[in-house]
Chains A and B, each alone.
Chain A
Amino acid sequence: MSEMWTAKLRTKWQKELPIEKLLPDDQPAYVASWIYVFGVLTLSALAMIIASGIVLAFEGPAWYHTSDAGKFTNSMHFWSVQLFFVFMVIHLWGKFWMAAWRGNRFRTWATGAVAFISSIATAFTGYLVQTNFDSQWISFEAKDGFNSMGVGAFFNVTNLGQMLLLHVAFLPLILGVLTVVHVLMVRKRGVVPPIDAEPALSNRGPQ
C-alpha cells in the first residue's frame, strides 16, 4: 500500500469510523430512553447559540441594544445559553450515573468535561461584553479573582476588546472543535451498554 499520509489516514479512518458508524439508522434497544436525548438537546441549543451569535456579530450592538428585532435576537442568544447549560448538566448527570466512560470511552468523557469548562469561559466572557453596568460590575469583581490566581497578566477581564474577541472567536472555536470530536468519538465506539448488560468480570463493553 502507498506510504503517503493520505493513504494511511484514509485506511485508519475507514477502519475506525466507516460511514455506517458515522450515520447509523439503528441503535440498541437500551437507547430508547429520554436520558439519551440530552446530548442532542445540548447540541441543538449550541446550534441556536451560534446562529443567533452570528446575527448579533453582523448587526452589532447599535442594533441589538435598541431595535425590537435586535433585542429579540439578543434574548434568543441569552436564553439558548441558559438551556444549553441546563441540558449539558442533565446530560452530564446521566452519563455520570451510567458510568459512560466504561469500555474505552474515557476520551468521550474527558472531551465532554473540557467542553463544560470551556463553555463556562465562553459564557463568562459573554457576560463581560454586554457593555452595561452588569458587565462592568462582573469584570471589576472578576479582576481581583484573576489577579489573586496570578493570571491577571494574561487575562485582563476589564479589557473589553480582549474579552469580545475571546468570546466571538477563540472560545467558540475551541468549544466547536471539542464538540465535534466528542460526538465523533461517541459514533466511533457506539453507545455504552447499561452496567447490568455487560459481560461478567469485565469492565469493558463491546468496542
Chain B
Amino acid sequence: MTGWISEFMNHPATYLKIGWLQISVSNLLVILLMLATFALAVFLPFPKGHDDTQEPRT
C-alpha cells in the first residue's frame, strides 16, 4: 500500500488511559463524530420541500 493514508495509518494505535478506561484515539474520534452527527441531526433545521398536497391554483 502507498499514499498518505496508508502512511498515516501504518503504525500502532495511540491509546488513552484514564484509570480502568482505555480507548484508542481513533475509536474515541469515531464516537465523538457520531455524537456530533446526532446533535446536528436533532438541531439542524430540515429543509422545507414544496407542498404537493395543495390543490393546484386555478
Chain A residues with CB under 8 Å of chain B are: 25-26, 32-35, 37-38, 86, 89-90, 93-94
Contact = CB atoms under 8 A, between A and B. Distances in A.
Interface residues of B, number: 12
Interface of B: 30, 34, 37-38, 40-42, 44, 46, 48, 52-53
B46 A90 contact: no
B6 to A, nearest CB: 12
17 contacts: A25-B52, A32-B46, A33-B42, A33-B46, A34-B40, A34-B41, A34-B42, A34-B46, A35-B38, A37-B41, A38-B41, A86-B30, A86-B37, A89-B34, A90-B34, A90-B37, A90-B38
B42 to A, nearest CB: 6
A94 B41 contact: yes
Contacts of B53: 26
Contact of B38 (A26, A32, A37, A93): A93
